[in-house]
Structure 1
């Protein structure tokens, strides 16, 4: 803590600072809570997507051996792009999944086995789920950084700035009270001397 001047202007400055810190602190605390709630929701969404992916993978186990037949499905399933938009959450711009633009190339139904249709449908679902998960993970990372900054500010205000201002106000107030008491004492002594002079 820097050295505090024991003056009236410094007392006013410290009181103003304390009011400002006490006004901003609740806003920061609310922001911290909102970030934590949003991050909790994101984690639940990621868990749900992981569950869906696991269920899909489990459902294809009985016929997964067909995929070893050397048919390259990546030539048939084309990802044109993942569309996102920016949304502001408690002061942070985060990406939000809008759509996965995927198309299936035309192929000769007589040239490919029957299971290819179902495999492409499942792969398309897996691509969409994976894209959603990647975007949710990006949201979580961005909000984590903001939560860390906000938590540091809350701690700074709660543990440093507010106690420093309160201590400075207390110190200045005590000093000024002592100065006033000393001034009153000196005034009494001066009055007594004046009265003693007048009696002579």
Structure 2
């Protein structure tokens, strides 16, 4: 770090720095609060989706007890035909948001399969939809956590490092200027006494 010049221009410069830094702190704090609120909302949505997914799984176990005896491949009953994800800007952070999702039932023979397969296919359709939404919320939470971490680091940099350092520099400069002023007054008095003493 460069040596601090103990003069009035540096004092003014440090004062301007403190005022500029203090303008950033409220904006960063507001951004941090908005990110915390968005993260809390996303966590709540994630919990709701996990609960809904658990209900679908319990419904499959309760209503379709014959599923373990099924000879076909259950995972081939539904597929994702299209998924559209858009990026939403929240206080400078790009978050993924599901715009549209189309989960389709794959064609199968109604006559050659069990009657409960239609119900299973609908449940699988809702399960796949919930899983995709859940993955998207996880990604959203990841982005929010990264943004929150970066914002908190910046806030701490201004609030706990730069502003206190600039204030400390201001104190040092003010003390040095006050000392220099006192020394100047003392020198002037000594010089005055010498002049008075020489003239007598």
2:127 and 2:40 map into 1 onto residues whose CA distance is: 23
Q: Secondary structure at the match of 1:51?
A: helix
- 2:45 corresponds in structure 1 to 45
After TM superposition, the structure 1 stretch with the greater mean CA deviation from structure 2, 132-141 or 180-189, is 180-189
Whether the 8 Å contact between 1:77 and 1:120 is mirrored in structure 2 is yes
Whether the 8 Å contact between 1:92 and 1:143 is mirrored in structure 2 is yes
Q: Secondary structure at the match of 1:84?
A: strand
2:83 and 2:57 map into 1 onto residues whose CA distance is: 22
Whether the 8 Å contact between 1:78 and 1:104 is mirrored in structure 2 is yes
Q: Secondary structure at the match of 2:64?
A: helix
Which stretches in structure 1 are left out of the alignment for 5+ residues? none
2:144 and 2:62 map into 1 onto residues whose CA distance is: 40
- 2:12 corresponds in structure 1 to 12
Whether the 8 Å contact between 2:21 and 2:162 is mirrored in structure 1 is yes
In the TM superposition, residue 184 of structure 1 has moved relative to its aligned partner by: 1.7
- 1:56 corresponds in structure 2 to 56
After TM superposition, the structure 1 stretch with the greater mean CA deviation from structure 2, 105-114 or 143-152, is 105-114
1:76 and 1:160 map into 2 onto residues whose CA distance is: 59
- 1:120 corresponds in structure 2 to 121
TM-score, structure 2 normalization: 0.92
Q: Secondary structure at the match of 2:66?
A: helix
